[in-house]
Each structure stands twice: as structure tokens, then as C-alpha cells.
Structure 1
Amino acid sequence: MFMKTRFLLSIFGLLALSACTSDDEPTPVTATPDTSNLCYLQQQVVRQAANAVTTRYTYNEENQIVQSAHFVQDVLRETRKYTYDAAGKLTREELQPTDGDATYTVFSYDPAGKLTKYEVQRPLNLGVVHHVAAFKATYDVQDRLTSAINYRYVDNKLVQNGSFTQSYPAGKPISVVVKDNTGQVAYNATFTQDDQRSPLSAVPAFIGARPAIGFPNTNNLLSVSATTTATTGGVSTTVGVPAESYSAVYTLNEQDYPTKATLTYNDGKVITIDYTYSCEE
């Protein structure tokens, strides 16, 4: 099979490549997806040192993901089943761990079809439901993700459990602020993306139900540069966060999907991900 490998520039060089144009108006991140020569992700294997986590996907006749199975060191740990509405939006996920209680997630969307909230719940006896966690997302007028907040329930009340915001300054890379579960800034980050297809880009309804950094997540992250503020002797300086900063190398198939990703972090750890697909003829 014909393969091509994308080697990265240095992080500094990549960060100079803006996700926006040089004029006063930022370029929208949404685009009409390419629906030709699609590949559907069947399996991904994430490896770090001697550890391996495998996810396998099952599709229906409409090429929607209806089940995923998750393995750690080849031992099945959980399965997830997915339900869609008539418009093709993911509406429900049922999670069944091999050694724990089942939960289900219910997804809600705005009139434009963008994910606004999901709720994680655990069914109890006699029809009682225990609320476990939640997630909320907001967007700007150009349908770009601006905030994503995780919540947990404490005494039946929502409590923030980490968040991030994305801003789109003209002529500069997209900026991210990540906060921890106390609401304090954990780090700031900028990132760059390629223009190739991400592993799950053939199923936008699936990845769109869980907005993440780099939304709409149909391309691949090339680098993430994370920084924080350190104060010593009353003097504040900006320092890197090596555990959150990385550069990536992708090997692509003929349809421009990655078959292998190597993420090299600034703290020295290396994560590799292998992808297997079923591609249209």
C-alpha cells in the first residue's frame, strides 16, 4: 500500500503557522467534509512503554458506530453501545464495565445540531436514577467551540470538574485555557493542525458528540505547546509544561487517514497509536 509520512517542523515553526488569516476577521473552522473515499476506523491501539489500550468499533448498515469494546492489555474492560435519532445524531450511550455498574449518557443538541450538553446517569432500583456527571459546551456565531465544562454531581448539585476555553485571535494560533477542578488555570496552550483526515472523521456525528480541544476534530493535531506562570521571589515568568506539550508524526494511507501516530512529549514520554480501517472501494 502506498504510504506517506508527515514529518513535523519544530514546534516553534509550527506555532508561527496561524489557523487564521492575516486580516481582521478570523477564518471559520467549519468546512464541508469530504465524503469521498471514506475509511471507517475499526481499531486503535494506544501504547505507552509496556502498556496497551485497544478500542474496537462496530458499525451498522448506515456506517454509524453502534458499539465499541475497550481492552487493557488484551483484557476486555468495558463495552459501549450507541443509539442515534432519525436525523443521525448520537442520542444515547450505554456503558457496561466488566466489573462495575452500568451507566448511560444522554446527549442534547442545539437547533443547528451542535452538542450543547450530555448527562451521565446510573439507573438504580425502582426506576430511580443517580446523576453522575455532566458536560456542557458553548459556541460562537461562527459555530466555533468556545468553552467546554465537565461537571460532577455532589449532593445532587452540579460542581465544575475541569474545563477549557478556546479563543480565535486574528492572525494568531487558536488559544486554549485549561482549568482544573478548582477553577484555577492549569495551563495555557496553543496548537496546530494538519489538513488531513482524523481517524474518526468519517463519522462526524460520533466525534461531534464529545467536543474536544481542536474542535471540530476532523483533522489531526500536529503540536500542542502548553505554558503556565511561575512566581519566584515576587517575579512571574512564563514556563513550559512539558507533560502537556508534544509534537506528532503521522503515517497516512492512500485516503489521507493516519495509520500510525507517534506523539513525543517534552517530558520525554512517547505514545504511539496504530489505526486499522475499513475503506470504501
Structure 2
Amino acid sequence: MTLLDDFALRAALAGLGVALAAAPLGCFVVWRRMAYFGDATAHAAILGVALSLAFAVPVFPAVLAVALAMALTVSALSDRGHGIDTLLGVLAHSALAVGLVAVSFLQGVRIDLMAYLFGDILAVTRGDLVVIWGGALAVLALLYARWGALLTATLSPDLASASGLNPKREARILTLALALVVAVAIKVVGVLLISALLLIPAATARGFARTPEAMAAIAAAVGALSCFGGLAFSFAYDSPSGPSIVCVAAALFCGAALIGALRKPL
């Protein structure tokens, strides 16, 4: 028997991997005000699940392909002048609805839909850990290699262009990273809660960081603490693990907001 035979340890490692990948990416989501973008990409993942079951292929590549296709579609349409808020709202809800309908048409396939909607971190296998950590390390490597360019393009597209950078290319890199995070996080928190794990730790870290790098590091710590705290709460009170993780993250955000309010001079 090895350590990875313990389902609680596998769950903790899975949560840590997703938190480390989602934290720095979540900072860019907050800086670029891309919350709806994350929702649209995450909601499309359920269609990827339906396709993987229909064609008997692994869930990860199917979800990654659909999430990436959705993200690229949103980027292409927004570049053509479509109202981004309305466009994202339409695509996010449409993708989720189409995915749920597609799942209902599958014959002879038994699926725990709640596990994909809200996550099932306690059922993570050693194979899932390989996928989660492989995806997480790929996201971290991508962001590390392009951190300066991504940050410049986020803060000032004009400055990025003047520096010889292509802001649209950097946006595509973020799109790829976001699709990867969605694909690896679906097992942990599900498609409905992925955006929360992207946004809440980054929003919590924002009030305590003085540099972008510090914000990413603090967000990673908040995300990891949320996962561990949510799992502990789930074990203690027999609550669903994915929503418990998000509840702990929300509690940390409220605590950080309260501390920030108390620190302000009267």
C-alpha cells in the first residue's frame, strides 16, 4: 500500500495542483475583467464530457478541445465588434444547455452528472493526479515563460505593441492556459465552480499584494488553503467537497475584505 492509495491524500494533492494552476491565471482574469470569459469556457466543458462519452474517448482531451474552441470563438467574435458582455452571457448559458441536452441523449451510458457539475474530488484516481499535475505544470510553465509579455499586454496594449509584442497573441496564450485549467479542474470543483476558484483567491490576494508576482503567490496560498479547508470541512460535516472548497474561499475573501476595511484610516 502506498501513500497515493489514501483517497484523502489524493484529494488534497488534486486540490493543490488546481490551486497552483488557477491562482496566477486568476490574477489575469481579474486584471482583464474576464470573469464571464471564464464562465463561458467552463460551461462549455460539459459539452466536452458529452462528446467524450459519445465517442468513447478520455474526458480530458475532449474537455480541453471544447473549452479551447469556445475560448477562441469568444475571442474571434469580440474582435469583430460584438458586445462582449452580451456575447459571453449568451455563449456561457447556451454551451451549458447544449451540453446538458447532449448528455440526456446518450443511450446506455450511466453518468453522474452532479460530479461533473460540482466536482468529485474525493473520487480522484492516481491517473487523474497525473493529468491534473501535468496540466498544472504546463500552465505554470506557459505563464512563467510569457509572464512579462502577458503583464505588459494586460496593463497597456499600446505599450505592448510599441515594445514589439502582439497583444492578440498574448490573449491567445491566456486562452490556451484557461482551457487547460478548465480541463484539469473539472474533476475537482466541476464546471459550475471553476470560475469561483479562478476569481476568488485572486480577488482575495489583491488587497494584500504590492506587485503582480506577490498577488499571484498570495492567490496560490489562498487557493491551497481553500482546498485544504474545504476538504476538512467536507470530512467533518459530510458536505459536498467542491462547494465546500468554494465556501471556504468565499469566507477568506470576506475576511480579507473586513481586514482591508479596518486598515483604512477613518
TM-score range, shorter chain: under 0.3
TM-score, normalised to structure 2, is 0.24
Larger RCO (CA under 8 A, 6+ residues apart): 2
Q: Which has the higher helix share?
A: 2
TM-score, normalised to structure 1, is 0.23
Q: Which has the higher strand share?
A: 1
